[in-house]
Amino acid sequence: MLYYWKKAIVDNYVNFSGRASRSEYWCFVLLNFIISMVFYIITFVLASNGVSDGLTVVQVLSWLVSLALFLPGLGVSVRRLHDIGKSGWWLFIILIPCCIGLIWLVILMCKGSEMNENEYGPVPED
């Protein structure tokens, strides 16, 4: 799991070309979720205990980490869409209101890879 996260962060920081396997995408998403939850729990504990200085530091650190992970997240999402034969512009489907776009995007991200080489490159190694 850490291999895929490192691959998205270090090897493909702002790479929007090529393909990303389903496991690469979902491992990246899972680790980002875990990181977010750790920051949320620390913030909750500090806020419950009335520690305002530490709370501010943790909130700023959380914001910086989120900002640093935005571009790799965007890149791995575009590469995941490439893996199923869709353009990266399909990410804008999330703008459809009432969670319809979000549900549609999740379904797309769960689809299996195209088993042959497509216009975005060869099948990714898993």
Give tens-digit pLDDT for 38-78: 999 998 888 888 777 777 888 899 999 999 999 999 999 99
In this predicted structure, what is the pLDDT of residue 72? Answer: 94
In this predicted structure, what is the pLDDT of residue 13? Answer: 86
Radius of gyration over every alpha carbon of the chain, rounded to an integer in angstroms: 17
Q: What is the mean pLDDT of the chain?
A: 90
Spatial separation of the C-alpha atoms in residues 125 and 105, rounded to whole Å: 23
pTM: 0.88
